[in-house]
Amino acid sequence: MEFTQIPNIEQKASRVALGTWSIGGWLWGGSDDKDSIKTILRALEKGINVIDTAPVYGFGHAEKLVGKALKEFGSRDNVIIATKAGINWENQKPFRDCSKNRLQQEIEDSLKRLDVEAIDLYQIHWPDPNTPIEEAAEFMKGLLDQGKIRAVGVSNFSPEEMDIFRQISPLHSCQPPYNLFEREIEESALFYCLKNRIAVLGYGALCRGLLSGKMSKDRSFEGDDLRQKDPKFQEPRFSEYLEAACRLEEWAEKKHGRPLIAVAVRWMLDKRVNIALWGARKPKQIDDVDSVWGWKLKEDDFAEIDHIIFETIKQPVGPEFMAPPS
Ligand SMILES: NC(=O)c1ccc[n+]([C@@H]2O[C@H](COP(=O)([O-])OP(=O)(O)OC[C@H]3O[C@@H](n4cnc5c(N)ncnc54)[C@H](OP(=O)(O)O)[C@@H]3O)[C@@H](O)[C@H]2O)c1
């Protein structure tokens, strides 16, 4: 296990966090609550002490399960709970809303659902073009001053948006999308955060399963699973991404004797993000975390990985399809 520091949070944070979007069920074709609780407990037992969630993950459901699992675990002291605010919904249709009134409602709801007195890391989920960034920043600063939260984060913000935010409030972390196949932030948010000592929690470490080493052409996606619409999972791209994953897997085994999933997460960590967010909803999915520790990628590894991706993926596409409407 490796640790990092999120500014303003005393406890050391594990460099892999458990992401609980799929635990909420919504947009992942539903999830099994018993498995979900077991997954959170397994992550904690494995030394993962950062749990990332959000109200919109299952419209409150993921947060409730995190709260329940924490009670079962027994000790809250060493656990860093990261949740978010700024997405509202009507009839399970989400939209961005960072108005003061909405944020006020959300913090109270999240504290109740998680059943905690304070939230360790509170993040604005998406910038809301209908609310001035200053309004959200001022509200977050107020929560920090009142002790309801310990650190302030944003997610999906550009450097320009973070600049505005930081004029009003301290900013301790940023959560952008980042993985081997989705690197759009390298020249923008990642560079900005490294320069300004803002902790980076990269989300989608496994590119929604494509980098798990277990994705195949015949995998079916049930119900509302977002991968039915994810452009990477549509032909002819799906075959290209699967081919890239397959070649990367062979390379990982031959060069490092490690599974693809370990290389995917190691790649993020060695690119200097503080924390890789790993989404899991079954306990065995998180067991692979052990293969991430105790080794590092070297300079020539990055070039060889890039070469494989360049040769196989002819129509790359980013994660933009996930942006909620404003
Ligand atoms: N801030 C934001 O806007 C934002 C957006 C997206 C995500 N996030 C955060 O980042 C976290 C991670 O992202 P993500 O959940 O979208 O995707 P991810 O980590 O790229 O992929 C998660 C999915 O990969 C599969 N998987 C995980 N471990 C596996 C294993 N060992 N073997 C095989 N398959 C495995 C599972 O899918 P199956 O169960 O279907 O097999 C799992 O649900 C989220 O949970 C959330 O906390 C934040």
Domains of the chain by range and CATH?
Answer: 3-322 (3.20.20.100)
**Could you identify the atom of ligand 1 that is nearest to the CA of residue 176?**
1
Task: Please tell me the distance from the alpha carbon of residue 191 to that of residue 185, in angstroms, as a whole number.
Answer: 8
**Could you identify the atom of ligand 1 that is nearest to the CA of residue 322?**
5
Say yes or no to pLDDT of 97 above 90: yes
Residue range 55-74: mean pLDDT, rounded: 98
Alpha helix (H) residue ranges in 147-288: 159-168, 189-196, 237-256, 260-270, 283-287
Closest-CA residue to 254 (of 263, 267, 265): 263
First and final C-alpha spacing in the chain: 39
Task: Please tell me the distance from the alpha carbon of residue 135 to that of residue 165, in angstroms, as a whole number.
Answer: 9
Say yes or no to pLDDT of 166 above 90: yes
Residue range 207-235: mean pLDDT, rounded: 97
Say yes or no to pLDDT of 326 above 90: no
How many A from CA of 279 to the centre of ligand 1? Answer: 3
**Could you identify the atom of ligand 1 that is nearest to the CA of residue 22?**
43
Ligand 1: which residue has its CA nearest to atom 37?
A: 209
Catalytic residues: 57
Say yes or no to pLDDT of 16 above 90: yes
Q: Is 261 in the pocket of ligand 1 (CB under 6 A)?
A: yes
Ligand 1: which residue has its CA nearest to atom 25?
A: 209
Task: Please tell me the distance from the alpha carbon of residue 180 to that of residue 204, in angstroms, as a whole number.
Answer: 10
Say yes or no to pLDDT of 288 above 90: yes
Query: Which tokens belong to 182?
Result: 């989705």
Q: Is 201 in the pocket of ligand 1 (CB under 6 A)?
A: no
Look at residue 278 in the predicted model and tell me its pLDDT: 98
Report the percentage of the chain scoring pLDDT > 90. 99
**Could you identify the atom of ligand 1 that is nearest to the CA of residue 123?**
1
Q: Is 20 in the pocket of ligand 1 (CB under 6 A)?
A: yes
Closest-CA residue to 294 (of 15, 13, 12, 78): 15
Look at residue 254 in the predicted model and tell me its pLDDT: 98
How many A from CA of 299 to the centre of ligand 1? Answer: 27
Look at residue 244 in the predicted model and tell me its pLDDT: 98
Contacts of 261 (CB under 8 A, 6+ apart): 206, 211, 212, 213, 288, 291
Say yes or no to pLDDT of 176 above 90: yes
Asked whether the beta carbons of 240 and 312 are under 8 A apart, the reply is yes
Look at residue 145 in the predicted model and tell me its pLDDT: 98
Residue 6: pLDDT band with limits 50, 70, 90: very high
Look at residue 54 in the predicted model and tell me its pLDDT: 98
Closest-CA residue to 124 (of 186, 168, 90, 171): 171
Whether the full predicted model's pTM is greater than 0.85, yes or no, is yes
Say yes or no to pLDDT of 162 above 90: yes
Residue range 41-56: mean pLDDT, rounded: 98
Q: Give residue-wise pLDDT tens across range 110-133.
A: 999 999 999 999 999 999 999 999
Report the percentage of the chain scoring pLDDT > 70. 100
Q: Is 21 in the pocket of ligand 1 (CB under 6 A)?
A: yes
How many A from CA of 128 to the centre of ligand 1? Answer: 24
How many A from CA of 250 to the centre of ligand 1? Answer: 22
Average pLDDT, the chain: 97
